[in-house]
Amino acid sequence: MYNECYIHLEEFIIQKNLSIKDLTLVKKEGSRIVLTPTKNLHEDKSIIKIGARILSILNSPHTVSSAWRSYVQIQEHETNGKIRIQFDNFILAIDFLYIIGAIEYGDDLMWRSKNDKKDI
C-alpha cells in the first residue's frame, strides 16, 4: 500500500513543479538524512519512503502521536519487531509533506490535502 503512496508522492512533487534533485540533503549530527534512498542509506530511512508510509496512514485525520503509533505497528510487522527510524525522522517527514502541500494540519490533527484526489 505505501508503494502506491510512494509513486503518488513522486507524482505530487512533480505536479508542484518541484524536482527531487532540487531538494537538498539535511545534515544531522554527523549523519545524513536523504530524501531518496542511496546505496549507503536503506530505503526505509529515506524521507520519501517515510512520507509515503505516513500518507498511507492518513486515510482519516490523525494526531501526530496516533500516526506515529500506526507507523511503528506497520514497521514492526514488516521488520519482525525492529524499528528502523526514530521519532525525529518521522517528524522531519511530516514537515516535508506539509511543506510540499501533501498534508494539512489544524486543531492537533493532520490529514491528507484536499487536492489529493487519488484514493490509496
pLDDT band at 120 (very low <50, low <70, confident <90, very high): very low
Residue 36 belongs to some domain of the structure:
yes
Residue 104's pLDDT is: 93
Given a contact cutoff of 8 angstroms between Cβ atoms, the answer to whether 95 and 84 are in contact is no
Residue 103 belongs to some domain of the structure:
yes
Which residue range forms the structural domain that includes residue 21?
2-112
Does 4 have pLDDT greater than 60? Answer: no
pTM: 0.67
Residue 54 belongs to some domain of the structure:
yes
**Among the listed residues 6, 75, 64, 68, the one whose alpha carbon sits nearest the alpha carbon of residue 35:** 6
Does 40 have pLDDT greater than 80? Answer: no
Residue 119 belongs to some domain of the structure:
no
d(CA 29, CA 97): 22
The CA-based angle 45-51-52, given to 5 degrees, is 100
Residue 108 belongs to some domain of the structure:
yes
Residue 1's pLDDT is: 46
Residue 17's pLDDT is: 63
Does 27 have pLDDT greater than 80? Answer: no
Given a contact cutoff of 8 angstroms between Cβ atoms, the answer to whether 37 and 46 are in contact is yes
Residue 120 belongs to some domain of the structure:
no
Residue 78 belongs to some domain of the structure:
yes
For the stretch 49-84, pLDDT in tens is: 889 899 999 989 999 999 999 999 988 887 777 767
Give how many domains the chain has, as a whole number.
Answer: 1
**Among the listed residues 17, 42, 25, the one whose alpha carbon sits nearest the alpha carbon of residue 96:** 25
**Residue 77's domain is classified under what CATH number?**
1.10.10
